[in-house]
Structure 1
Amino acid sequence: MDDVTRIPVPGDRPYDVLVGRGLIEALPELAGGAVRAAILHAPPLKERAAAVADALSAAGIRPLPIEVPDAESGKSIDVAARCWDELGAAGFTRTDVVVGVGGGAVTDLAGFVAASWLRGVRWIPVSTSLLGMVDAAVGGKTGVNTAAGKNLVGAFHPPAGVLCDLGALETLPADDLVAGLAEVVKCGFIADPAILDLVEGDPAAAVDPRSPVLRELVERAIRVKAHVVGNDLRESGLREILNYGHTLAHAIEKNENYGWKHGHAVAVGVVYAGELSRLAGRLDDATAARHRRVVSLLGLPVSYPAGAWPDLLAAMRVDKKARADTLRFVVLDGLAKPGILAGPAEETLIEAYRAVSA
């Protein structure tokens, strides 16, 4: 474990996020005291899950590999129930540990399985995607999707620690790497403008998995999230700012039956949020325009079909950030100055959508 960065996540149950290469050897310490370790993974990550199993076995911890469907198709109650059945058959106890090896969908599922088994057992995300590293694996939000929407069933359950092995990014499809950068850019607009400067200064390095620029982007985004979630685990206030761009993004994902990558939806959502901030009189024109420029530099989408608006609006009304019948959006009152816009006029919402409608 050479050149490892430890990023602390404060709170009632503090833990560290480890960023570097060759981090699997840190697993036994995080799983210390466990007799068994359930290792949830999707089929493409069978080899990496096997390496995790070997490391745990060498430490005297019995591995229980559980293969789950890839991506969002694995984030369902049916899949979670199958995992619970396997834990029950293995005699899983409260001192055992669940390990999620994969992207954000697998770690969300693993965390939810751990949160709900015996009312909460330890879990460790071993994140293999950029999106997972900077978003899903950090913060203790776990959950599954339902027919009503994304992540509507879940629990707040902080992990024992998070492993972000940058070596995994070198085998990640380029499209997935770029998609993950949407969450990084979001962190730039809400809290750390240096992220935006890095992307604008060298877009090619930002998408190079071996570049020090990408590592700095990952670490900066994790620090933003660690600060926010450490001060607001249960999304009662500050944590809402992490949903910048996500109200429209989740609606797009639902409209696409989760066929769109989360990062692609967030990219469109961030551009929309910037425009909504401007139209609400909260943000200057130049910063609003910067959203589209930065997102475009990375090759991320900035538009969605115009005719989809009625379905998107309906989906936004059941978003978990809404209060009763009032839509709420995270907006900007300036660069790195997030705020809340509650109950905007429908005409304003429509006008902002025109800016991202194809």
Structure 2
Amino acid sequence: MRVTLGGHHVPGFDAAHREQTGRYPGPAAAWQPVHTVYVPADRFDRHTVASWGQTALGLLEGHLPGDAETAEVFGLPAGLAADVRGRVARKLAAEPVEDLRIDFEDGYGVRPGAEEDAHAERAAEAVAAMRADGTLPRRWGLRVKSFADGDPGRSLRTLDGFLTGVTGRAGGLPDGFTITFPKVLMEAYLRQFTAFLPSLEDGLGLARGTLRFEMQVEAPQTVMFLLRSPDLVPSLGGRLAAAHFGVFDYTAACGLPPAEQRLDHPVCDHAREVMRTALAGTGVELSDGSLAASPASDATEDVHALWRAHAAMTRHSLRHGFYQGWDMHPSHLVSRYAAVYAFHLADRDAHAGRVRAWEARRDAGGGVMDEPATVKTLLAALARARDALGEPTPG
């Protein structure tokens, strides 16, 4: 090929490309749970996960006895309802909780120091026992108190005591651990928390980089510094694993009336879109928030009403590309898994067909002409479906 210029070197490109790959490594390759279950530390013990599963399974069997009820409550075709209900029942029996967080913050409250120390110690004992029993979820951890409360020493002491107790009893730190760091009103709090972790790792004999955390986005101030701080993730040295949206603190901070403090409010959609934009390509996972409600009574109509509301919120998150959320009550496990399974099963075959059509260099059904970026999204959706449904990767 003839060219006009002999050399095509771009000055500064190598440095810019290194910066790009460092700042935007792409999505995390690891499995991501579909939810995080929060349990107040004073109510947590080694049987909590099993108890949640048994309670949820009892609710399923008592209030959703067959496929017809499943179809009606969750708005599913009969064939899909049968598949979804069977999957939910098996999941609740085998692995009711994918990600567990022992809560020392809002769900726990402010206690005397000696009382919180005792609960951290008991929580560590329970985690070590669950690890020995094989019942510790694939992901687990604790939520510490916020630095915004004005007492970072209390937050760090609980983390230190808890991890000292776990590693001492379990002979190391079980896989899947993470820390939830709430109410990040100041960007400086993230750097201060990050700076503490290497010393704790050294003291516990853990490899550097073992302790990672997820920040909670619960205030307009946090949204603002996400927008103005493009170097935030690199500056935390790989410690930031995820960002979780906190719907009730956020909507309260925005001045919304109580009836409008809901996950699908437009101000929440805006905050989540900022999270997505600010953290795109960084490998930081995103999680949505929760529905702070349980069945109003044991009556079937009240249980069904809760499931419909929770499933609707879960579907809203899924449609907006947030594939993880919080669950706060055993009843949520039923609607969480039902909504997630239905979402992935509904389009999985169509997605696979479009990928096959693209690979064969032909149009998909209905005249669809997919672009490479769309095919990449389809492949990601298929991988996410396999993970959520607990199915093996082909080949």
- Work out whether the TM-score is over 0.5: no
* Richer in helix (by share): 2
- Relative contact order higher in (CA < 8 Å, ≥ 6 apart): 2
Structure number, greater radius of gyration: 2
* Richer in strand (by share): 1
Q: TM-score, normalised by structure 1?
A: 0.31
Q: TM-score, normalised by structure 2?
A: 0.29
